[in-house]
Amino acid sequence: MDIEGGLIGWLQSHRAELRLSVRATTAGVLAYLVATLLNLPQGYWAVFTAIIVMQASVGGSVKTGLDWFVGTLGGGVLGVAIATLVPDHDFWTRTGAIALAIAPLALLAAVHASFRVAPITAVIVVLGLNPELSPLMSAFDRVLEIAVGSLIGVGVSLVVLPARAHGLAAVAAGQALAMCAALMTVLLEAASAGVAVMDTAPLHDALRRALTRFEALTEEAGRERATRLSTEPDTEPLARTLRRLRSDLVMINRAAAVPLPQDVAARLAPAILHVARAGVAFLTDCATALRDRKAAPSLAGVEIAMAEFTTALAASRQAGIIRELPDDAVGRVFTLGFVIEQLVQNFKDLANRTHELARERP
């Protein structure tokens, strides 16, 4: 029973990966069948392309398919030109032709990633791996094989268990917010306790990876909208908000790197903890709302906690505690106060972005 439950749990937690596996398998098999029916001389290129084109989202598949087709077309054109103009008399002329084919296309691929496959196609044409075909026909076959694989890959991504980039981006945004919540808890609890913050590098790294994935999916979602494959709202404003939240947490980390003076920490501790709990609850609820495309949660709890913190900070100033601190300690206290206030403002922005992406608004 435990094994069965564990298997079911694993399958549920890897649904996206399983769907991708099904799409890739379908695309590969279909590409092989079509290449066989068309009697393509090297039909395995269609199979390779169909599998490579299959990405996690429709937008990703469209981009990869276009990149491979454009790169193959560019490499084929240059390969035909070199194979025609440079005579293939001996080893050295062929070596020079290969160098001429690779150098400009490798530079082009370094500048524009869309042409990554171009040098490979050019070399295949120059080498004349099929002596029965002219360079022009060899290039035509390669372009046709890549085109077949690209079309099948994109078509399967649209029809078989399609995964829209917008939905994947919502999940990635929720993961980034979960990382923000975890980091916020660690930082503010340390600040309230008057102790140095622990090593947070792993949490910052995890947050950076989550944001990178979300931004990549945001780009793919934009491509889906540009090609009329999706009418979902733009998630780029949400990406900007998440970047600002990460910057706030980095600044809090710097302010909390050295423990706050005990007198200040004791006075501010309840308010800081209240901000932490309210903020974590809000981030968690926003993650759920984004995933489910629902309205943003209420900011009331965050605003109450912020008002409490502002009052506690003002009381500490009036009591003269902060005035008696060294300059560097005063700087850390006011930096922490400023960033917490800025964090709340970005929470309001996050609520607006979540509201924009909701299917149903109150």
- Tell me: do 6 and 151 sit in the same domain: yes
Q: How confident is the model at residue 117 (pLDDT cuts 50, 70, 90)?
A: confident
What is the count of structural domains for the chain?
A: 2
Mean pLDDT of the chain: 84
- Tell me: do 235 and 282 sit in the same domain: yes
- C-alpha 40/C-alpha 97 separation (Å) is 26
CATH number, domain containing residue 220: 1.20.58
- Tell me: do 64 and 86 sit in the same domain: yes
For the segment 296-328, what is each residue's pLDDT rounded down to a tens digit?
899 999 999 989 988 888 887 787 777 777 777
- Tell me: do 123 and 176 sit in the same domain: no
Q: Does pLDDT of 90 surpass 80?
A: no
Who wins on pLDDT, 200 or 13?
200
Beta strands in 81-121 (DSSP E): none
Average pLDDT over residues 88-115: 85
- C-alpha 206/C-alpha 173 separation (Å) is 13
- Tell me: do 188 and 332 sit in the same domain: yes
Output the six-digit token pair for 147: 């085109």
Output the CA angle 15-165-43, nearest 5 degrees: 80
- Tell me: do 192 and 275 sit in the same domain: yes
Q: How confident is the model at residue 209 (pLDDT cuts 50, 70, 90)?
A: very high
- Tell me: do 126 and 252 sit in the same domain: no
128-137, 156-165, 259-268: lowest mean pLDDT where? Answer: 128-137
Q: Does pLDDT of 75 surpass 80?
A: yes
Percent over 90 (pLDDT), the chain: 23
- Tell me: do 184 and 221 sit in the same domain: yes
Inside any domain, residue 255: yes
- Tell me: do 11 and 138 sit in the same domain: yes
Who wins on pLDDT, 30 or 138?
30
- Tell me: do 189 and 126 sit in the same domain: no
- Tell me: do 139 and 225 sit in the same domain: no
Output the six-digit token pair for 360: 């149903």
Task: Calculate the dihedral angle through the C-alpha atoms of 140, 142, 148, 152, rounding to the nearest 10 degrees.
Answer: -160
- C-alpha 142/C-alpha 126 separation (Å) is 12
Most confident among 82-91, 228-237, 272-281 (mean pLDDT): 272-281
Inside any domain, residue 362: no
Q: How confident is the model at residue 80 (pLDDT cuts 50, 70, 90)?
A: confident
Inside any domain, residue 138: yes
Q: How confident is the model at residue 13 (pLDDT cuts 50, 70, 90)?
A: low
206-215, 236-245, 312-321, 350-359: lowest mean pLDDT where? Answer: 312-321
User: Among residues 159, 194, 220, which one ends one of the domains?
Assistant: 159
Cβ(169)–Cβ(214) below 8 Å: yes
User: Among residues 103, 134, 159, which one ends one of the domains?
Assistant: 159
Q: Does pLDDT of 350 surpass 90?
A: yes
- C-alpha 244/C-alpha 286 separation (Å) is 16
Average pLDDT over residues 229-237: 84
Inside any domain, residue 44: yes
Inside any domain, residue 249: yes
**Residue 316, SS3?**
helix
What pLDDT score was predicted for residue 3?
62
Q: Does pLDDT of 1 surpass 50?
A: no
Q: Which amino acid is located at 328 in the chain?
A: D
Domain that holds residue 340: 167-357
User: Among residues 159, 178, 195, which one ends one of the domains?
Assistant: 159
Cβ(252)–Cβ(187) below 8 Å: yes
- Tell me: do 101 and 222 sit in the same domain: no
Q: Does pLDDT of 133 surpass 80?
A: no
178-182, 251-255, 299-303: lowest mean pLDDT where? Answer: 251-255
Percent over 70 (pLDDT), the chain: 93
Inside any domain, residue 337: yes
What pLDDT score was predicted for residue 283?
94
